[in-house]
Structures are given as C-alpha cells and as structure tokens.
Amino acid sequence: MYSLISQGNNLLLKISLDALDASAALDCGQSFRFRLEEDGSFFGVALGRILRLRQVPDGILFYDMSEEEFHSSWADYFDLKTDYEALKEAYRADEVLQRAVAYAGGIRVLCQEPFETLISFLISQNNNIPRIKNSVEQLCRRLGTPLSEEYYAFPTPEQMASASLDTYAGLGLGYRDSYLVDCVQRIADGRLRMDEISRMELEKARETLRTVKGVGPKVAECVLLFGFHRLEAFPVDTWVKKALSRYYPQGFPEQYGASAGVAQQFLFHYIRTCKDAV
DNA sequence: CCCCAGGGTAGGG
DNA sequence: CCCTACCATGGG
C-alpha cells in the first residue's frame, strides 16, 4: 500500500523500497528514457511529460507533481493498482524467484505507451541497452516535440511517418531503420492500429504485432507486456534464455502463467545485473 | 582484434 | 518443422 503527502510543489509517495524501487523499475530495460543524474535523482520523459523523481527513505519523491496528476497518470504508469505483494507471495514457492525478489523486489511492470514500446523494442533487437537508450534519445531529439531545452517527447506516428529513410540513417540504428519506416507507414495508413490491438485476445494481438517487419516472438512479447500490460506475456531474450537453461531445465513453472511476465522481469534483472547470481 | 547485445529474416534442407 | 548465414553498430 501507499499514501501521498504533498510537499510544496513536490509529492511524496510513501511506499516501501520492496514495493517500488526507482532504480530497479526505471533501469531494468523496460523504458529507455530515464537517466540517473549526478545528484541521485532520475530524469526522464514518459506519457509526453518530463518526470523527475528521487528515491528517499520513505519512498519516492516526485518533483513538480500534484496529487491530481499523480492519480490521473503516474499511479497507473508505475502499476500501483496491481497487487505485487500477492504475486511475490506466490513466488515464495520458487527458490530462484525468491532470490530474484530478495535482490530487487521493487521492480514493477511499467504501463508504457504502446507505440513508444513497439518502436523502442524494434530498436532493441540484437542490441544492448546502453545503445538502445542512445538510439531512442537521438530519435526523440530528431523527431519528437521539445518539452524543454533538454527533453523531447517520444515522436508521434505522424512525426515519424513524415521523416525520410535517410533521417533515420544518422541515429545509429544499424539495419533496423527500415523496420521503423515500414512500421510507421503501416500505422500512418491505418493498416496497424494500437487501439485495436489493445482490445484483441492475447493470441490475436500477438499475431497482429508479428505482421510488422522486425517483430518476432520476443519483441512481440515485450510490446504486449510493457506496452499493453498483458502480464501473461513472457519475453525470452538472451538473458532469460540463460536463466531458463540454468534454473529451469525442466521448464518454467506453469503456475505463474497469468503473471509470468512479472516473474520474467524479476528474473531478467536478476541474472543480468546481480554479480552473485548463481 | 574478439565477442556480445532484451533477435529476426530469408533461404535451404 | 529445423538449421544457418547474415544483418549494422558500439560497448566491453
């Protein structure tokens, strides 16, 4: 559970580190738009707005934030409506998940915008997180609406569709630039609609996403999990593949099916960043 | 110089 | 269905 305390222009979200850990949640390969500043705060852009926050002993301090804005946008963005305590209670039956939760329990599956998620994870294929972040940043600077001198919104489908292929060439995307061009073209001419996908049954949504060039099984699962909040989606990248072969040679337990994606996120972060992962 | 990264496609068996 | 070469690019 959590509560809110207004502090001038800022807002303190009182919540335990186990329930929401800014560093783990914002830097675990879901969003590519947050950076840790030298003063220890996180700065980023999401939902078309600049967000600045900081981990404090009592929870998370949101800068320049009203209760209204928090309730209408950020409570959902940080998935505060999902009962993670219940999920983690179920993980106690599993030794590995228990370790992953002990390592970083404050991860949450962020509710990101579907279009941004689709484009970001098209860029993510056969790529590493620092470079993905860089490419996404370049993309926003080049095509997104400026929100300040430093920060840019993620470009809209229209903004991206109006750019030429050579606009994308300078973004460090490698061979993935043509994937983006094809994807935004499909959206611009109405062949692909995010709002329709959000209403589809899971398997249908999966198939539809995979009609986009460059979207295979893994990217589709990421878009479903991070962009459409389908917690059943289970992306298997090189890290999770490693975790599955190391910890679950007999297969991942089926009992977590309805929220397998959340468990996947704990596993991913654990095996990718914990030095002592065994 | 090498290998790897939140993989996917195309082509051949 | 499977397997493999190839795809750009930068970090380590």
pLDDT digits (tens, 9 = 90+) for A152-183: 999 999 999 999 988 998 898 999 999 999 99
Local structure of A156: helix, strand or coil: coil
Q: Which residue minimizes Cα–C1' distance to C10?
A: A131
Q: Give the nucleotide nearest to A179 (CA→C1').
A: B8
pTM of the complete model: 0.97
d(CA A143, CA A191): 22
Please give the mean pLDDT across all residues of chain A.
96
The residue length of chain A stands at 278
Instruction: Note the CA–C1' distance, A242 to B2, in angstroms.
Output: 22
pLDDT band at residue A232 using 50, 70 and 90 as cut-offs: very high
Residue among A276, A271, A273, A269 nearest A105 (CA)? A269
pLDDT band at residue A277 using 50, 70 and 90 as cut-offs: confident
A78, A31 Cβ separation under 8 angstroms: no
- Which of chain B's bases lie under 7 Å from a protein CB? 4-10
Sign of dihedral through CA atoms A61, A46, A238, A82?
A: positive
- Enumerate the active-site residues of A: 218
CB under 7 Å from strand C:
A 126-128, 130-131, 134, 169, 172-175
Residue among A34, A33, A43 nearest A63 (CA)? A43
CB under 7 Å from strand B:
A 28-30, 121, 124-132, 175, 210, 213-220, 222, 235-240, 264-265, 268, 272
- What is the token pair recorded at A238? 């090189």
Do the strands A49-56 and A42-46 form a parallel or antiparallel pair, or are they unpaired?
A: antiparallel
Instruction: Note the CA–C1' distance, A272 to B4, in angstroms.
Output: 13
pLDDT tens for residues A99-154? 999 999 999 999 999 999 999 999 999 999 999 999 999 999 999 999 999 999 99
Q: Give the nucleotide nearest to A222 (CA→C1').
A: B6
A269, A100 Cβ separation under 8 angstroms: yes
- Which of chain C's bases lie under 7 Å from a protein CB? 7-12
The letter for the amino acid at A192 is L
Do the strands A34-36 and A42-46 form a parallel or antiparallel pair, or are they unpaired?
A: antiparallel
Instruction: Note the CA–C1' distance, A97 to B9, in angstroms.
Output: 34
Q: Give the nucleotide nearest to A215 (CA→C1').
A: B8
A198, A228 Cβ separation under 8 angstroms: yes
Q: Give the nucleotide nearest to A131 (CA→C1').
A: C10
